[in-house]
Structure 1
Amino acid sequence: MSDNVAHALSGAGGGIISMAVTYPLITVGTRLQVQRNNNDASAYSGNMDALRKIFANEGIAGLFSGLESAIFGAAVTNGVYYYFFEAVKAAFERASKRKSMTTVESMVSGAVAGAMTCIITNPIWVVNTRLTVKQKKLKQAEGNSSDEETPSTLKAFAEIIREDGVLSLWQGLIPALILVINPIIQYTAFEQLKNKVERVRKLGSLDFFVLGAISKLCATSVTYPYILIKSRMQLKQSKNENERYSSLMDGLRKVIANEGIAGLYKGIESKLLQSVLTASLLFMSKEALFSYTIKLLILLGARKAVARKA
């Protein structure tokens, strides 16, 4: 069994850890991204206001709304991404007989891995986005009220197909594919920074944490408007013409027209913090898990001990 599988499994494990730790920030950021009416009484005025209102109205569970699908999505997304990234990387290294990739090779590896990940995992993130922004409402029945239960991931998945059709699971795919530039920037920056540091000394866990933070900060800052449009396109589309986006450019145009340039950056503070922490924890935990994954595969007989070099 090749190292690609070990990288995929350790990447999936790292994705689960980083997602679980930073999920409240995702909830806050996503709800701010999809908020269109800032004047509504229940609207969030900022990150801290959103955090306070979600906790007050929905409890701690509200901050983890949709976590089940997010954990599954993080595991699949990172597993798929690392598998294809390492596969393309290995192909380049075999062809060039070099131990490190050039900047262009890093970008190509990121593009291939990112595109495959988007196509395979988009349905998971459509479900997650809808679960994350679903706010609990009160049912009024003969003067009594009770919280409306948030549907499970499978129920939400079935509901989307029933109401909007199978193709709706790929809503927001075009901006998601364009957002492949995010991991391209991230992993290219990471690989090049890592190569420079490795020429001086051996990398440790703290190095992977810092390099992951720097690379993700660069990527998210550049691509945030596209992230916002993708989140809104993944929601059930409104009948209101101004709130329904037919394409990425249509979404950008309508956000600027109705909310101004600032509308393209709603929730960016929590998103930057979440993205940087997630990437830092992912890179650090993924590298730490990789050696254990190799040992586990050997123990299970899925890999020969002589192949353990990475």
Structure 2
Amino acid sequence: MTRVYPPIETKTQSNGLSPSFVETVAGFSAGVIATLAVHPFDVLKTRLQLDHTHRPQWGNSFHLMRNIVRDEGSYAALYRGLMPNMIGNSVSWGLYFLWYRNLKDIFQSWRGHNVHLTSLDYFLASGLSGILTAVLTNPIWVIKTRMLSSSRSAPGAYHSISHGVREILASEGLAGFYRGLIPSLFGVSHGAVQFMAYEQLKRRRARQLAGAGGGAGQVGELSNWDYLVLSAGSKVFAGSVTYPYQVVRARLQTYNADKAYKSARDVVVQVWRKEGLGGFYKGLGPNIVRVLPSTCVTFLVYENTKFYLPRVWDTGLAFEAD
């Protein structure tokens, strides 16, 4: 199955659907489906990030999964915290793609519609979108991290999103919702690098396909397989250098973090002193297993929703007209 990837998209499509609306729905849908597909790996990754031992991560991952199921009653324990994770991912991707599309449009208007955006343009559009998204969604991630890091029966554990909100307000105030925000903002660089790579890889692949078809200089058609490979490649590239911030963020967002750490810098100092360089890469194994499928599913659903939604809408309008 192939998709036409246009070099320049118009502000308003002929069917009346704005590109911003299409981007938001595509991002929201991608977040929901990807979360459902890989949530158990998120549980494993979060608990490994909070592990202070020097045990091997891969062997520990399987041991931890077995213990979660055994100690917490059933395989349903691997889906603890699903709702805040799903809300966080769907809202984050929806907002992210909304702002990303509009910022790209702004940069395109500055450069002129016959000029391709540069890697810097993609990096800036992605980075700014990530900052806005991180600030607005950080409270969801605080609750999600705390729910994933403990069993439902653990003392002080949140039973639901609303319970988490009440507990944080009562014990930490509004500031509690923004624990780990600084590392999250550092993590924006990950998304910026990933999208910069993804956009350029898509453009290169489209030109390659066009050239193979005798249409050099034109835009080729990308398949679902292309989207899978390009999204995975860009994710590995970006993740190779930015993973440590996730460990710092997770430790700042967990229960009683204010008693264990003074700041993000304090987390870095303590992890380095007590656990060494390997401490910054705890949970990397299950994160790779989780992130690559999640990224591939996210971008595949996003690209397909963006492609089909206007066409389904057109079909519906035509049906009503008949």
Partner of 2:97: 82
Deviation at 1:136, TM superposition (A): 4.0
Partner of 2:176: 168
Deviation at 1:237, TM superposition (A): 2.8
Deviation at 1:272, TM superposition (A): 1.5
Deviation at 1:149, TM superposition (A): 8.2
Give distance in 1, aligned partners of 2:116 and 2:27: 20
Partner of 1:70: 85
Give distance in 2, aligned partners of 1:104 and 1:239: 37
Partner of 1:132: 148
Q: Percent identity?
A: 28
Which 4+ stretches in 1 moved above 4 angstroms?
295-301
Give distance in 1, aligned partners of 2:144 and 2:114: 40
Give distance in 2, aligned partners of 1:221 and 1:27: 21
Deviation at 1:37, TM superposition (A): 4.6
CA deviation map 1:163-214 (0-9, x unaligned): 1111110111111011100101110110111110010221111111111111
Give distance in 2, aligned partners of 1:183 and 1:149: 31
Deviation at 1:299, TM superposition (A): 7.5
Question: How has the CA–CA distance of structure 1 residues 49 and 21 changed in structure 2, closer, same or farther, with 3 Å as cutoff?
Answer: same
Contact 1:38 1:45 in 2 (8 A): no
Find 1:102's aligned residue among 108, 118, 121: 118
Question: How has the CA–CA distance of structure 1 residues 85 and 138 changed in structure 2, closer, same or farther, with 3 Å as cutoff?
Answer: closer
Give distance in 2, aligned partners of 1:138 and 1:74: 25
Deviation at 1:55, TM superposition (A): 1.7
The root-mean-square deviation of aligned C-alpha atoms, in Å, is 2.3
Question: How has the CA–CA distance of structure 1 residues 37 and 165 changed in structure 2, closer, same or farther, with 3 Å as cutoff?
Answer: farther
Find 1:192's aligned residue among 189, 200, 225: 200
Task: Please tell me the residue identity of whatever aligns with 1:230.
Answer: R
Find 1:117's aligned residue among 130, 133, 140: 133
Question: How has the CA–CA distance of structure 1 residues 81 and 44 changed in structure 2, closer, same or farther, with 3 Å as cutoff?
Answer: same
Give distance in 2, aligned partners of 1:93 and 1:238: 43
- 1:24-35 equivalent positions in 2, closer than 5 A: 24-35=40-51
Find 1:57's aligned residue among 71, 74, 96: 71
Task: Please tell me the residue identity of whatever aligns with 1:176.
Answer: S
Give distance in 1, aligned partners of 2:125 and 2:258: 40
Give distance in 2, aligned partners of 1:252 and 1:113: 26
Contact 1:32 1:44 in 2 (8 A): no
Partner of 1:177: 185
Task: Please tell me the residue identity of whatever aligns with 1:190.
Answer: Y
Tell me the SS of whatever aligns to 2:222. Answer: coil
Partner of 1:145: none
Deviation at 1:77, TM superposition (A): 0.3
Question: How has the CA–CA distance of structure 1 residues 99 and 48 changed in structure 2, closer, same or farther, with 3 Å as cutoff?
Answer: farther
Contact 1:221 1:272 in 2 (8 A): no
**Which 5+ residue runs of structure 1 have no aligned equivalent?**
140-147, 302-310
Give distance in 1, aligned partners of 2:297 and 2:144: 21
Question: How has the CA–CA distance of structure 1 residues 297 and 94 changed in structure 2, closer, same or farther, with 3 Å as cutoff?
Answer: farther
**Which 5+ residue runs of structure 2 have no aligned equivalent?**
1-16, 210-220, 318-322
Give distance in 2, aligned partners of 1:297 and 1:164: 46
- Given the two structures, how large is their TM-score scaled by the length of structure 1? 0.86
Find 2:248's aligned residue among 210, 229, 236: 229
